[in-house]
A and B are shown apart, each in its own frame.
Chain A
């Protein structure tokens, strides 16, 4: 029996028919014709089973595998960033203030869109004001707020002493940073106002008490980012500060008294 359709090469036509029959893309007439032929050929039956096994295996991946949550977070952040950038194409640094040129220039940034890496560089800047100590049994620092969010008081639990704070304006966005010190180590906790920042491309996403944390090493410095009430928090450390220590701090909610 002769198979319908083109004969691309030798026996390719029967291969094409079997491939399409196996995945259901062969039209009704073709299906009827090939099935009649297969009924009389154990060899073709075996070849069809083989095709179907492979189709079933490949399709089963759809049942077994979905994109991990971290990847979805990255995509969402990228898409949000792209939406923000679209109207601003071609504007470059026109909107940036002098106070933030250091950040963008230091990173070679050619676009006026804030990144986690840029926000994290604030960790190396000096504090401009001091912060007050809280009263006993408090889990947040008094008098320091950003977008309605308070900064954690970590000294009693983790030994990180709040040493000062600063505010910056980058890409039209307000950044509030509190610095902490423990021994010779220094870290900075920045809350970025506005839409969430895309995590660093190489960030690893983990879940801690229901909060997605994006961890990465940027320029040799550990950086963890997450969201609190829709605002991006960036916790960055000096070289030598363990990333795992930042992850632990980032996930701490003060026994539920720090709103996330």
Chain B
């Protein structure tokens, strides 16, 4: 991402009045954040860790937002946390592994195998997209932000987001099987 791409949305947002992020409503977005995290990481387990860490960061202290929706802000923190984790992964000591026996305990909230397979295929295909394409698709199609909100969250121009989104969808459709339009 270039400095130019950062400029417009950030400057625009500075003129808006600040408001305090209400921690009581952040949990409303947990499903969408979880899906976004999975699409970014490509792994369910990593997605859980990422969402936990994102909330831990956001809840660490009071936050003031300017002209930004809570969900857009959360997505930005999630994305930044994701990249921080990738950078830190090599130098961070591994957590003590949990014993294998625990894997045998059923998670009764897990969905059916067919649905799981279907969603895993989609997540895997999204995770294979180039970073910038993936972020656009996650922000708009997975999380459900508007183009404008996505542009703010990702600090790029709306036109840039739209182009990336188009290309991301093109690749995703191809990866999931279907005719190619080049």
User: Which of B11-19, B82-90, B160-168 lies at the interface with chain A?
Assistant: B160-168
Roughly how many angstroms separate A49 CA and B39 CA in the complex, as a whole number? 22
Do A50 and B178 form a contact, CB below 8 Å, given A19-B162, A66-B31? yes
Question: In the complex, which of the residues A18, A59, A78 contacts B55, with contact meaning CB atoms closer than 8 Å?
Answer: A78
Do A206 and B34 form a contact, CB below 8 Å, given A15-B162, A217-B95? no
Give the residues in chain A near B126, CB-CB below 8 Å. 58
Do A50 and B48 form a contact, CB below 8 Å, given A6-B159, A64-B115, A82-B23? no
Asked if B107 and A78 make an inter-chain contact with CB atoms under 8 angstroms apart, the answer reads: no
A62 at the binding interface (Cβ < 8 Å): yes
Interface size class of B (residues with CB under 8 A): 35 or more
Most buried by B among A19, A68, A220: A19
Give the residues in chain B near A59, CB-CB below 8 Å. 141
What does DSSP make chain A's interface, helix, strand, loop or mixed? helix
Residue of B at shortest CB range from A202? B95
A128 at the binding interface (Cβ < 8 Å): no
A161 at the binding interface (Cβ < 8 Å): no
* B75-97 Cβ-contact flags toward A at 8 Å (1 or 0): 00000000000000000000111
* Closest-CB distance, A177 to chain B (whole angstroms): 22
Asked if A23 and B107 make an inter-chain contact with CB atoms under 8 angstroms apart, the answer reads: no
Asked if A216 and B51 make an inter-chain contact with CB atoms under 8 angstroms apart, the answer reads: no
Interface residues, chain A, with chain B CB atoms under 8 Å away: 6, 8-9, 12, 15-16, 18-20, 22-23, 25, 43, 46-47, 49-51, 53-55, 57-62, 64-72, 74-76, 78-79, 81-83, 86, 89, 201-202, 204, 206-208, 215-218, 220, 242-244, 247
